[in-house]
Amino acid sequence: MQYIDLKIDDDIALIKFNRPEALNALNKLMLDEFEEALIKTLNDKDIKGVILTGEGKSFIAGADIAEFLDMNAHDAVSFAEFGQNNICGRIENAPKPVIAAINGYCMGGGNEIAMACDIRLASSDAVFSQPEAAIGILPMWGGFRRLIRLVGLGRAKELILTCRRVKADEALSIGLVNKIVEDKNNLLDEAYIILKNILANAPIAVKLGKAALNYAAEFNIHDANDLERKLSNILFASEDKREGVKAFIEKRRAEYKGE
């Protein structure tokens, strides 16, 4: 692939955006390659988790603005659907954890992709923005809802309507990222550590937990409580739960089967 690097180490896949000359702006080919890498890694049962990062000083500086020149209204709807379903929806609904290791500019569609991930780590020089309105468009890959979920309606309105840039420390304070990694050289190591911590837990709980939290974020408290009862019903009948509880009592490490 020309613009996407895919590296698989044991059971973790690292997908790197690699178009540094354009700060990893997503052109059509890069998006198609990214979709291909996502399908490959998310469908592969031997890959348990995925990390996304960018080459150079940018995670993703948004969609390639040059390609918007000839995009008509009809094309825009297809482009929105592609980003919503084939990219961001695919990440959010993946049956395995996906971590964004944000190494610099994280703008527009890049921030929408980061927000679709389960956990966001940022280097201390990362810069976030939804700058679409400055060029007469708006976020279209699920960014409205995900930004509101993470930072609240008031801040989402401010960020989308002003297009202002947010540095890493502010991104952390408003909940846009989970953690800042001060030394950029440690960003990927930190992402691997967090992913491995997740993967050490009972696979059935991680998989169902991710899916259920996505649903619960959109539910009212009654439906969310109902979902928790259904999950408890499934988990308390699972091998993983039997093994996890037994291992705790026997003071040993659990050996999970994912069922």
Active site residues: 112, 132
At closest approach, how far in Å is the CB of 128 from ligand COA? 11
Residues 19-48 close enough to bind ligand COA by CB under 6 A: 22-23, 25
Would you put residue 183 in left (φ > 0), alpha (ψ -120 to 50) or beta?
beta
Helices (H), the chain: 28-43, 73-81, 90-92, 109-116, 143-151, 153-162, 168-173, 187-199, 203-216, 221-235, 239-249
Residue with token string 């659990």: 254
Choices 4-12, 29-37, 64-72, 166-174; region in contact with ligand COA by CB under 6 A: 64-72
Nearer to ligand COA, 143 or 244 (CB): 143
Q: Which of 14, 31, 52, 61 binds ligand COA (CB under 6 A)?
A: 61
Nearer to ligand COA, 131 or 209 (CB): 131
Q: Is 105 in the site for ligand COA (CB under 6 A)?
A: yes
Q: Is 66 in the site for ligand COA (CB under 6 A)?
A: yes
- The 3-state secondary structure of 103-151 reads CCEEECHHHHHHHHCCEEEEECCCEEECCHHHHCCCCCCCHHHHHHHHH
Q: Considering CB under 6 A, how many residues would be counted as binding ligand COA?
A: 14
CB of 121 within 8 A of CB of 75? no
Q: Is 63 in the site for ligand COA (CB under 6 A)?
A: yes
Nearer to ligand COA, 68 or 192 (CB): 68
At closest approach, how far in Å is the CB of 156 from ligand COA? 16
| Cα 214 to chain centroid, rounded | 12
Nearer to ligand COA, 125 or 183 (CB): 125
**Residue, CB closest to ligand COA:** 62
Q: Is 104 in the site for ligand COA (CB under 6 A)?
A: no
| Phi, psi angle pair for 103, to nearest 5° | -105, 15
Check residue 218 and report its DSSP letter. Answer: T
CB of 116 within 8 A of CB of 92? yes
Which amino acid is it at 61?
A
Nearer to ligand COA, 25 or 115 (CB): 25
Q: What is the C-alpha separation between 123 and 22, in angstroms, rounded?
A: 19
Q: Is 83 in the site for ligand COA (CB under 6 A)?
A: no
Choices 18-26, 48-56, 94-102, 178-186; region in contact with ligand COA by CB under 6 A: 18-26
At closest approach, how far in Å is the CB of 5 from ligand COA? 19
Q: Is 108 in the site for ligand COA (CB under 6 A)?
A: yes
Q: Is 65 in the site for ligand COA (CB under 6 A)?
A: yes
Q: What is the C-alpha separation between 58 and 68, in angstroms, rounded?
A: 21
| Phi, psi angle pair for 51, to nearest 5° | -120, 135
Instruction: Using CB under 6 A, list all residues that contact ligand COA.
Output: 22-23, 25, 61-66, 105, 107-108, 131-132
